[in-house]
């Protein structure tokens, strides 16, 4: 098992550009989520999904879109990048929420100029 994989590892964007951060897991987990972590701060939930076709907003959803067409993949789209979105983005998955552990990917470090 590869666990949770994220691509790219690093990305630099210009203000206004769009891009998609990829996240995939091979553990057949139903629950997947995206977090952002700003320097020296804790993780904040952006969006999450409790299964294919079901997504919902977290604490800081503005400027991001998600979809969950398959169990394995949960991409995060930045619609129009802003410097405030400079952060490290982590994807996580688990079998169920609240009763199981989350497995985190290695993160994507995004810089928006």
Partner 1 sequence: LAKTTQPISMDSYEGQEVNITCSHNNIATNDYITWYQQFPSQGPRFIIQGYKTKVTNEVASLFIPADRKSSTLSLPRVSLSDTAVYYCLVGDTGTGFQKLVFGTGTRLLVSP
Binding site for partner 1 (CB under 8 A): 33, 35, 42-45, 48, 50, 54, 56, 58-59, 90, 92, 97-107
Q: Which residue lies nearer to partner 1 by CB, 17 or 43?
A: 43
**Shortest distance (Å) from residue 107 CB to partner 1:** 6
Q: Which residue lies nearer to partner 1 by CB, 14 or 39?
A: 39
**Shortest distance (Å) from residue 26 CB to partner 1:** 16
Cβ proximity of 23 and 105 under 8 Å: yes
Q: Rounded distance, CA 63 to CA 43, Å?
A: 17
**Closest to 73 in 3D by CA, of 43, 99, 112, 105:** 105
Look-up: residue for tokens 């949770």? 4
């Amino acid at each position: 098992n590869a666990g949770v994989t994220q691509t790219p590892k690093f990305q630099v964007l210009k203000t206004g550009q769009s891009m998609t951060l990829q996240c995939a897991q091979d553990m057949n987990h139903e629950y997947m989520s995206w977090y952002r972590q700003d320097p020296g701060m804790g993780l904040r939930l952006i969006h999450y999904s409790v299964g294919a076709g079901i997504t919902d907003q977290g604490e800081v959803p503005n400027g991001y879109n998600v979809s969950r067409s398959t169990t394995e993949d949960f991409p995060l789209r930045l619609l129009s990048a802003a410097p405030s979105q400079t952060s490290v983005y982590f994807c996580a998955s688990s079998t169920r929420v609240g009763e199981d552990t989350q497995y985190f990917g290695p993160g994507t470090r995004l810089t928006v100029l």
